[in-house]
């Protein structure tokens, strides 16, 4: 899977399960290129969401919800995610 495919899947899943006004997903894999544990085909994503639904819940609950939605991708193609909610 390439990064553009992954971003499209992540956007679609988040939009299907959360009321989102806007979502921006950035590939930050290049920042981890020489780190131990960095693996080919595993990506580092920065997800910026504008969502009243998530903003009105605790940060822990919001992150749990996102992790649950992206469970398959986290197991297969996402090494780490940074989540920003406003």
pLDDT tens string 17-48: 999 999 999 999 887 666 655 566 789 999 99
* pLDDT tens-place string over residues 40-65: 678 999 999 999 999 999 999 999 99
The CATH classification number of 3-33+40-85 equals 3.30.300.90
pLDDT of residue 9: 98
Record the tokens describing residue 52, joined without a space.
């009243």
Distance CA 84, CA 79 (A): 17
For residue 79, CA distances in Å to 37, 54, 56, 74 come to: 9, 23, 27, 7
Whether 11 has a pLDDT exceeding 70, the answer reads yes
- Domain boundaries defined on the chain: 3-33+40-85
pTM of this structure: 0.88
Residue 76: per-residue pLDDT: 94
């Amino acid at each position: 899977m390439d990064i553009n495919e992954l971003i499209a899947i992540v956007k679609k899943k988040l939009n299907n399960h959360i009321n989102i006004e806007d979502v921006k997903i950035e590939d930050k894999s290049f920042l981890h290129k020489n780190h131990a544990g960095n693996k080919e085909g595993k990506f580092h994503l920065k997800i910026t969401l504008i969502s009243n639904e998530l903003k009105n819940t605790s940060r822990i609950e919001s992150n749990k919800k996102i992790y649950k939605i992206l469970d398959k991708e986290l197991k297969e193609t996402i090494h780490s995610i940074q989540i920003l909610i406003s």
